[in-house]
Amino acid sequence: MSIEIKVPPLPESVSDATLVAWHRKAGDGVSRDENLVDLETDKVVLEVPAPAAGTLAEIRIEEGATVTAGDVLAVLEEGEAPAAAAPEEPAKAVAATPAADESDRVPKTSPAVRRLLEEHDLDATMVSGTGKDGRITKSDVMAFLKVDDSSNVNPGDGAAVGVEEIVEAGFDRSEQRVPMTRLRARIAERLVEAQHTAAMLTTFNEVDLTEIMALRKRYRDDFEKTHGVRLGFMSFFAKAAVEGLKKFPVINASVEGTDIVYHNYYDIGIAVSSERGLMVPVLRDVDHMSFADFEAALSAMAAKAQDGSIGMEDLTGGTFTITNGGIFGSMMSTPILNQPQSAILGMHSIQQRPMVVDGNIEARPMMYLALTYDHRIIDGREAVQFLVTIKDLLEDPGRLLLKV
């Protein structure tokens, strides 16, 4: 029986997708639920599985095409998959251990990593994965390529060389032009839209993290043993932000036309960097979470962002965002609003700086905080007092835990 393989229903607000990669070709045998093709939307990569075992009789839409929900991608002839259904191994693939099971031998990869492997004609078994459960990340592939290139450098035969060698040898320097991914294009569009729509203003403050760091050091091991998750800084900042949002509800609001929509819930977006670019997964009802609940939820979301399994429902509906440029070494920045939200909190590097404490100069772990806000509905007084509230709670975490 012939089965049409169609583009599945797309997430709300997404009108189309790009077909980025077929994992089978016409005539191949496939297994039920095997991923056949990757579709990239503005925010996530969707995998389209085989509805039944059989043979992929016809591919109707090629890679690079734009598709919409319901479009027929291919035709599957249902039945027992032929013996030749296994994917062809590239010529340079390493030999498998005879006793090894295929699922154990082939590392897990995300769609973005699979595309990178295909672009460089690499087999996944050649790259050591450093991600969760041995998953191969984009960084792993790039590191492998760098090692592989450096082991074969010979300017005399035109092999790959670094920029320094090219300049010293007087070789022509080439350029590579690649189209933006849909995600990167959408990020660019939203950032420009935010600049053109909101009246953005940023206010700064600094926070002394001595007490937070002492508290983490004192209870870090016990916390991890009890709850099975690490105690990070983000949970303190998120909980402090929620208390600030309760005191200044307009910072948790959004603009719709000429209306201000006040949200009586606290869904906090946490900006994370992934192989496909910046993503902002949303943690729901943070005000009802314990520190352990928050750390576990954040860890799970970050893992989904890294392995490409994050869904549209994970990325929509936030009321406030926190971004941490400090993990990359940023000392200070002016974050851009994640519309339709009206404010975003920026964290930065923790630096030992001389501070005057009770008349004495001491080295203290200090962090600059930045709050970018929509001046159309948030006044400077509210923005500054919100940031001071966060500062006060973090410098005296007892107030945060006791909610005083």
Backbone angles phi, psi at 364, to 5 degrees: -130, 145
Catalytic residue among 149, 221, 285, 379: 379
If one counts every other C-beta atom within 10 angstroms of the C-beta of residue 320, the result is 26
Residue 376 tokens, joined: 């159309």
The three-point CA angle 119-186-325 to 5° equals: 90
Could you tell me if 71 and 61 are in contact, meaning their C-beta atoms sit under 8 angstroms apart? Answer: yes
**Annotated catalytic residue 288:** no
Beta strand pairing status for 268-270 and 320-324?
parallel
Alpha-carbon distance of 40 to 46, in angstroms, equals 6
Could you tell me which of 110, 144, 120 has the C-alpha nearest to residue 38?
Answer: 110
Residue 251 tokens, joined: 């910072």
Half-sphere exposure of 73 (CA within 13 A, CB side): 31
For tokens 């606290």, the residue is 266
Task: Please provide the distance, in angstroms rounded to a whole number, between the alpha carbons at the two ends of the chain.
Answer: 68
Could you tell me if 69 and 9 are in contact, meaning their C-beta atoms sit under 8 angstroms apart? Answer: yes
Could you tell me if 365 and 213 are in contact, meaning their C-beta atoms sit under 8 angstroms apart? Answer: yes
Residue 18 tokens, joined: 């790009």
In single-letter form, the type of residue at position 248 comes to F
Q: Is 250 left (phi over 0), alpha (psi -120 to 50) or beta?
A: alpha
Angstrom CA distances, 110 to 75, 138, 141, 299, stand at: 25, 9, 12, 18
Beta strand pairing status for 200-208 and 360-374?
antiparallel
Catalytic residue among 227, 287, 375, 392: 375
**Annotated catalytic residue 379:** yes
The three-point CA angle 39-42-43 to 5° equals: 90
Cβ burial, residue 80 (10 Å; 0-12/13-18/19+): exposed
Could you tell me if 211 and 395 are in contact, meaning their C-beta atoms sit under 8 angstroms apart? Answer: yes
In single-letter form, the type of residue at position 243 comes to E
* Catalytic residue positions, numbered: 375, 379
